[in-house]
Amino acid sequence: MITIRVPCSSANIGPGFDVIGLALSIWLELRVDISPATASGAPLNCEISYEGDGEGEVPLTADSNLITRTALYVLRCHKQRVFPVGTKVHIINPIPLGRGLGSSGAAVVAGVVLANEVGKLGLSKARMLDYCLMIERHPDNVAAALYGGFVGTYLNDLSPEDTERKEIPLSEVLPEPAGGVDTGLEPPEPPIGIGHYMKFPWAKEIKAIAIIPQFEVATAKARGVLPTSYSRADVVFNLQRIALLPVALGRSPPNAEQIYLAMQDKVHQPYRKELIPGLPEILLSVTPKSHPGLCGICLSGAGPTILALATDNFDKIAKVILDMFSKKDIKCEWKILEPAEEGTTVTYS
């Protein structure tokens, strides 16, 4: 059996829109078995079972499930049109879907790693990141999930031909359904070195409180509300804060005032308030002064989860945010998470 574990992640951490990612301690797990002797004749040779968040909703056919569709894309780039005979993939997913905790990033990373394992492709992590970026086109979640820890990411300046290849519509990378209409054509391979990352230190005292509302915000919708251009003042505001953020969060003991300031944003959070009732009030009123132990607060990824970074008083901080959501008739669950330093792992048993 091959076990693939991929952590969830929180992107942006305030000002680092599409740049900063933090891998956190909830893991998507795939248990993969290849036994030709017990092959069930499943389409594309892949039988899927699923438990956890999304059970009953997430499609379980290899050509429509995001994890196996991604794997098929990578396999087909390597001239393998189907899974090996008798492939069984059991998916255990505790990452809440569409809440800003990188469920799709984790699914895409899991799919690329699945293809690498079953197809015996021998891809490096750097090359796997290229494949991930052909599907999830911002690097913050996928790089954090693949490499682990607290990361800064960037996309390379590519040649005009490679840029064109990277911007091929998603529908051509992952045709819908991927396997149903197999044209026999090779899908577009990713250019080499699309994206890169750098790991930042993380102060061991800081934990992440995730307050997870019981409603979904699709990332595509939360990107759709953002403007296409910004004022110079707003860009400079974010640049000033993002320059401080990795230093402030790596310094031990943490300086809460500095972290709070470094987590302010004018690029995405203000525009997403229409999708997340109570967001401006929560971000403004929960501060290190009013709530000792708090270091900083932000929208996690595209939301609606709120991420509060803190060193103490976790229950109190969570409760005040739960109460504010409750005034808007929004129920939430909450968890204390820690950085997942290791990133994606593969084990064999």
Ligand X SMILES: N[C@@H](CCO)C(=O)O
- DSSP, collapsed to helix, strand or coil, labels residue 321 as helix
5 part of the interface to ligand ATP, by CB under 6 A? no
11 part of the interface to ligand X, by CB under 6 A? yes
Measured between alpha carbons, how far is 305 from 302 in angstroms, rounded to an integer?
Answer: 8
Measured between alpha carbons, how far is 104 from 108 in angstroms, rounded to an integer?
Answer: 6
Candidate residues 45, 70, 116, 219; the one interacting with ligand ATP per rule CB under 6 A: 219
> Which residues, 6 or more positions from 40, have their beta carbon under 8 angstroms from its beta carbon?
47, 86
Residue 63: how many CB atoms within 10 A of its CB?
20
Query: Binding to ligand ATP (CB under 6 A): which residues in 62-81?
Result: 65-67
75 part of the interface to ligand X, by CB under 6 A? no
301 part of the interface to ligand X, by CB under 6 A? yes
Least distance (Å) between residue 20 CB and ligand ATP: 13
18 part of the interface to ligand X, by CB under 6 A? yes
CB 280 within 8 A of CB 324: no
Residue 40: how many CB atoms within 10 A of its CB?
10
Query: What one-character-per-residue DSSP string does 259-287 give?
Result: HHHHT--SSSHHHHTTTSTTHHHHHHH--
Considering the complex, state which of residue 11 and residue 211 has its C-beta at the smaller distance from ligand X.
11
Query: Binding to ligand ATP (CB under 6 A): which residues in 81-140?
Result: 91, 93, 97-105, 107
Q: Residue 221 is inside which H or E element, if any? A: helix 219-224
Measured between alpha carbons, how far is 313 from 317 in angstroms, rounded to an integer?
Answer: 6
Torsion of CA 31, 36, 42, 46, to 10 degrees: 40
Total residues found in the chain within this entry: 349
From the list ligand X, ligand ATP, none, which binds 218 (C-beta under 5 to 8 Å, kind-based)?
A: ligand ATP
Least distance (Å) between residue 131 CB and ligand ATP: 17
Measured between alpha carbons, how far is 243 from 266 in angstroms, rounded to an integer?
Answer: 15
**Sign of dihedral through CA atoms 60, 61, 64, 68?**
positive
Least distance (Å) between residue 18 CB and ligand X: 4
Considering the complex, state which of residue 74 and residue 203 has its C-beta at the smaller distance from ligand ATP.
74
302 part of the interface to ligand ATP, by CB under 6 A? yes
Among the listed ranges 32-40, 49-57, 219-227, 334-342, the one in contact with ligand X (CB under 6 A) is 219-227
141 part of the interface to ligand ATP, by CB under 6 A? yes
141 part of the interface to ligand X, by CB under 6 A? yes
CB 315 within 8 A of CB 211: no
Considering the complex, state which of residue 258 and residue 300 has its C-beta at the smaller distance from ligand X.
300
From the list ligand ATP, ligand X, none, which binds 17 (C-beta under 5 to 8 Å, kind-based)?
A: ligand X
174 part of the interface to ligand ATP, by CB under 6 A? no
The residues that touch ligand X, with contacts defined as CB under 6 A, are 11-12, 17-18, 138, 140-141, 219, 222-223, 268, 301-302
The residues that touch ligand ATP, with contacts defined as CB under 6 A, are 11, 28, 54, 58, 65-67, 91, 93, 97-105, 107, 141, 218-219, 301-302
